[in-house]
Structure 1
Amino acid sequence: MLDLERDEEETFSSSGCYNKDWALLTNKPEKVNPLVCYICKQIANNAVELHCDEHENAEQVYLFGEECLQRYLKENDGKCPIEQHDHCEFVKSKSSRQQVSDLLVICPRQYDMKKKQPKEGITSGEKEEQENQCNYKGKIKEMKDHLDKQCQLISIQHIILLIKELQLQLQIEKLKTEKIDDLQRESVKKDAQIIELTNDIQQVKSEMNQNITQLKKQIEQCQSTCDACTKLNDEIKHLKSEKEINEKKQNEEISKMNNDNQILKLQLDTILTEIGQLKKETQFKNNQTHHIDEDKKENDSTHQLLQNESNSPSKFDFDLFRSSSKLINTFTGHTNWVRSIDYSTLDDCQLICSGSSDKTVRVWDVDNNKQIQSFDGHSDS
C-alpha cells in the first residue's frame, strides 16, 4: 500500500514535479528534456525560471519546479542552487508551463499498475483485475479531472488497498500479541523485582527507623546540650552585665575619689600655704617676742635703776641716764622741753610720767608704747 501511494504520488501530483519516465512513454525525449527540473530531474510542475542578476548573461535557461525550488531555498538559507549566492530571484515560465500542460500521457494509475506487475508478479486474484484497465490518454492538464470522475481503476485499486491494509493489520496484531507476551514475561520479572525491592525497602525502612530512633536520641542530647549552653550564655550575659555595672560603679567611685583627691590636694596646698604663712607669722612673732623680751629685760633693768634712784635722796641725772642706758623707745607728744620725768609701776604696768615746758604732764605706757593720759593747766611757776 505504501509503495503504491508513493508511486502514484511520484507519477502525478498537483504541486510536485511529474515522473519523467511516465511522460517519455508517449512523448519524444527532445520534447521532454527541455522541461526537466534542474533539482529533481523530473518534469517541472508549475515551472519557474531563475531571474538573478548573476545569471543575466548566461546562455542556458535554468528551469525548476516551483515546489522543488521553494523547498531547496528553505533548506539552504535562500542560497541560489546555481552559484550559491544570496537573494535568489525567479519568475513564472509561462511557455514551459504551457508545454508541460499540453504533454500527452496515459492514465497514471494504469502506469503505476503496469510498473508494479513486473516487480510483484501476477497472482490469480489479479488476473481478473487485468481485464479492467484504463486506456485513457490525454493532456496532463486534463488528468486531474479524469482521475476524479472517469477512471475505472479507482474501485479496483481501493479493494487492493483494503486487502493490503487488512494484511497489515493482521501483521500488526501479531506483533501486538508478541509484544503482549513479551510484556507479560517482563511483568513477571518486574513482579519478582518488585517483591525483591519491597523486601529491600522493608529492610531499609527498618534500618531507617533505627537510624531515626538514634537520631532522635542524639537530637535530644543535642537539645539538652543546647539548653545547657543557653543557660550558660544567660549566666555569662548576667555576669557580664553585673561586671559592667560593677565596673561602672568602680569607675564612678574612682572618678569621685580622683575628684575628692583633687579637692583634698587643693585643700592641702591651701593648708600648706597657710601653714607656711603661719610659720612666717610665727617666726615674725617669735622675733617680736624675742625683741620684746630683750626690751623687757632692759626695761626691768631701767626700772630697777630708776627705783634705786627714787629711793636715793640724790637728784636723778637724766642725761646721765640716757648716756648710760640703751634707747628703748621714743614717746612723741610734748611740744617743748621735758623738764622732769618719773618712772613707776602700777598693776605690773611700767609707767613713765613726764612734765614739759609746754605746760602738760603726760603718762606713758612703756609696754604698749603709747600715751595713756595727758594733764594740761600748769603755769610757769
Structure 2
Amino acid sequence: MARARRLATLGGVKWILIVWLAGLGSAAVAAAAAKAGERAPGAPPFSTATVSPAEADFQRVMAVDDAAHEEIDKWIKDNGAFAKKGAGLADAVLSLKIEQRLEPVKRAYEEFLQRHPQHARGHLAFGSFLNDLGEEADARKRWEKALELDPTNPAAFNNLANSYGQTGPVAKAFELYSKAIELNPRQAIYYHNLGSVIVLHRKEAATHYRITEQQVLRNALELYRLAEKFDPANFQLATDIAQVYYGLQPPAHEAAITAWSRAQALARTEQEREATHLHLARVKAAAGKLTEARVHLDSVTDASLAGVKNRLARELVDQALPQSNKDDDRRLTLPPRKP
C-alpha cells in the first residue's frame, strides 16, 4: 500500500472484513483491499540524509507499516484464490496471522511517539492504523492529538469527521469535512466523504443545512462531481455518483444510465463490471428499455451476483406483461373470502 494510506482516510475497511470477503473470491478481495487502501496522495518518501532525525525516524516506522500491509494484502488475495479451490485458510486463522503480523508495527508506532510525542503526523498515522484494527476510540484520541498539535492539517479534520460520521453527532462530521475542504480544496477525498455522509444521513443533513432531502441529494451529487474533477478514474466515486440517482425525484433515468455507463468504463475487475450491468439493467427497465435491460442481465455470469440477477429477471418478466395479465395475477393471489 502507498505510504500515504496512513494520513487522510476514505473510511476504513477493517482487516477482518477483508478476510471475510476472501470467501467471495479473489475479485471481491481485490476490490475490498483497494477500497481500504484509497488514501489522499502524500509527499514522496523523504531522504533520511536531508530531513530532521525525528522525520527520518518517522519514515522508518512508515516503511515498517507499508511492508506489513503489503504482505497482508498478498496473504488475503492469495488466500482468496486458494479458497476458490477449497484450500484457503479459515477466516479465524488468517485473522490471527494478520493480528500477529501487525503487533510489531503497533509497537513501532508506540515507541516512536514516546520518543517524539509532539509529532503530529505520527499521531495521525497511528490513528489510521488503529482505526483499521477496529480500535476506533483510541484512533479518535490520536487524531484529536494530531489536530491539537497541527490545527492546519486537513487530514486530521477529515479523519475525525469519518469518526463522527460513524458514531455521531453527525453534524460534527459535516463541520469537520467542510473545514478539511477549506484547508485543501483540491483534495477529492474530502468532497467524496462529505457527499457520502450527507447521503447516508440525509434527514440530519436536511435539518442541519435547512434544506429538503431532495436538495441534500443534489448537493451530494455536486460534491461528488467536485471530487470527480480531481480524481476522474475512481470507480468507487463513479458508483457513488450513480447511486444518488436512485433517490432523486422526479427520476432522471437518462442521467442515471450515463452515470452507470461511466462507472462500468472505470471498473477494475470483471466482478465490478458485471455489478454495473445489474444496475444498468435496473435503470433501463425503469426507463422502459426492457430489451436493453435483458442484454445487461445476460452479461452477468458471476455466481455471487446470481440472486440479484434472478430477482431483476423476474421483475422484467412482470413488467413486460400486459396490464390485464398483471391484474389477473393479483386477483389470483387474493385470499379466499370468508363465508
Does the pair score TM above 0.5?
Answer: no
More strand by proportion, 1 or 2? Answer: 1
Q: Which has the higher contact order (CA 8 A, sep 6+)?
A: 2
